[in-house]
Structure 1
Amino acid sequence: MLPTDEARPVRVVLADDEAMLRRGLRVLLEEDGTIQVVAEACDGGELMTVVREHQPDVALVDVQMPGIDGLTALRDLLTKPGAPATAVLTTFDLDAYVSDALQFGANGFLLKDAEPESLVRAVHDLAAGGAVLDPRITARLLPRLRTAGGSEREAQLVRGLSGREGQVLRLLADGRSNADIGARLGLTEATVKSYVSTVLTKLGAENRVQAALIAQRVSGSGQR
């Protein structure tokens, strides 16, 4: 369940096998005063346990952990009702895992060396229903995810969207939450949610991040 009271801190779980990294992230996030790290996990098994016990709004998950790795945990976690918004923590040399996490339904992809302000903003965006894509990860993903003929097919799907649906997709591709999209377009959150659902269906995307990547591929190829 995501926060409904703006005064309530965003509840976060951190999963990484490096204790020093977890400690650093905890300090960084809680220093903001609007985020509370409610639990930490050193592997995928512990992640599943603490999520069940603490019901966080957001989970930040490393992909390489001993025992049950982050990807295996994500695959199971994101099938559960009420699963938290989840972002993968990765490094440049591990970005081959990102496409798998995308297929499992991860809501975001963050680099561990991201600026503190970016991480704090990402956590709030995730809690608000947004998708978070570090631009450096996106730049590396696009060439590998682009398949022959895919750009033209995707461009046709994007061109098939209505004007309003296209506006929603562009804002979604920027990682905007439903509330933010609604504020920018003068729509209620419920209406934006309906538009997002329609856009996902028309694009054949399983989640917001997949739709965002399609929009960025089409934009990057110069096809409108």
Structure 2
Amino acid sequence: MAATDGGGPIQVVLADDEPMLRRGLKVMLESSGTIEVVSEAGDGHGLLSQVRAHRPHVALIDVQMPGKDGLTALREVARLPEPPASAVLTTFDLDDYVADALRFGAQGFLLKDAEPEVLVRAVQDLAAGGAVLDPRITARLLPRLRVTSDNARELDLVKALSARERQVLQLLADGRSNADIGSRLGLTEATVKSYVSTVLSKLGAQNRVQAALIAQRVSGVGGAR
């Protein structure tokens, strides 16, 4: 479920095993007036139950939870008929779960100590179909993922995109939603959605975050603007 229905508040489910953290995130998000935390969960089992019950637009998931961990729950949430846009809540201590989280459908990585306006904007972007990466995380993600990436091949794949597809990729890498990309390029949202699907397919990326990381790894993408 990538967008709100009927212009109502963005509905969010929070999953973290620390009640105080959940309470703080809830206050920060709801202070925007555009977001409603409809439920909270302390583990992966609770997350799945609450997502099924509330069908939120966005799920914010801590990976390291007792019982069913967040990574396992993320994979199962992504398999639901209408999964929410999901982002991983993390600290600077990014472990080997990063690649798995991307493969399992994570559409973003957010630091737990992010400023309120950053978290609010991230949830808004997720609900609108965008990918979100805290700038402080990107610098740590790229070296980890570069080890297994083939930069020469990725550069060739990006060069093989059309000029318009490279424009879409660059805006996608900036975390822009389909609506925002369409507004900037003078395209309908449906046309942007088609472009995004094509770009993901051509790059061999499973989601927008993977495509964004490829764009950030490959030099010269910005020149396609």
Question: Shorter-chain TM-score: what band?
Answer: over 0.9
Q: Is the 8 A contact 2:215 2:221 kept in 1?
A: no
2:178 and 2:189 in contact (8 A); partners too = yes
Q: Structure 2 matches for 1:44-59, cutoff 5 A? A: 44-59=44-59
> Is 1:17 aligned with 2:23?
no
Indicate conservation of the 8 Å contact 1:88/1:98, yes or no: no
CA contact (8 A) 1:10 1:35 kept: yes
Greater shift after overlay, 117-126 or 72-81? Answer: 72-81
Q: 1:148 to 1:94 in 2, by over 3 A?
A: closer
* CA deviation profile, 1:29-70 (whole Å, cap 9, x unmatched): 001111000000000000000000000000000000000000
Q: CA deviation at 1:4?
A: 3.3
Structure 2 residue runs of 5 or longer lacking an equivalent are none
* Structure 2 residue 106 is matched with structure 1 residue 106: yes
The secondary structure found in structure 2 opposite 1:33 is: coil
- Count of aligned pairs: 223
Aligned to 2:135: 135
Question: Would you say the 8 A contact 1:16–1:22 is kept in 2?
Answer: yes
Q: Please, what is the CA RMSD of the aligned residues?
A: 1.8
Q: Deviations over 1:98-143 (max 9, x none)?
A: 2211110111110001111000000000000000011111111111
Aligned amino acid, residue 167 of structure 1: Q
**Structure 2 match to 1:216:** 216
- Structure 1 residues 31 and 101, CA gap change in structure 2 (3 angstroms): same
Q: Which residue of 2 aligns with 1:89?
A: 89
- Residues 74-83 or 162-171, more deviating: 74-83
Q: Secondary structure at the match of 2:96?
A: helix
Native 8 Å contact 2:166 2:221 kept in 1: no
Secondary structure of the corresponding residue to residue 61 of structure 1? strand
Deviates more, 1:213-222 or 1:68-77: 213-222
Distance 1:222 1:54, change over 3 A: closer
Aligned counterparts of 1:9 and 1:102: Cα–Cα separation in 2: 27
1:165-184 matches, within 5 Å, as 165-184=165-184
**What SS does the aligned partner of 1:93 have?**
coil
TM-score, reference length from structure 2: 0.95
**Residues of 1 paired with 2:77 and 2:158: CA distance?**
31
> In the alignment, residue 4 of structure 1 is paired with which amino acid?
D
Q: Distance in 2 between matches of 1:73 and 1:121?
A: 24
Q: Which residue of structure 2 lines up, in the alignment, with residue 189 of structure 1?
A: 189
Counterpart-to-counterpart distance in 1, 2:17 and 2:86: 17
Shift of 1:83: 0.4
The residue type equivalent to 1:99 in the other structure is A
Could you tell which deviates more after superposition, 71-80 or 163-172? 71-80
CA contact (8 A) 2:14 2:61 kept: yes
Whole-angstrom CA distance in 2 between matches of 1:209 and 1:148: 16
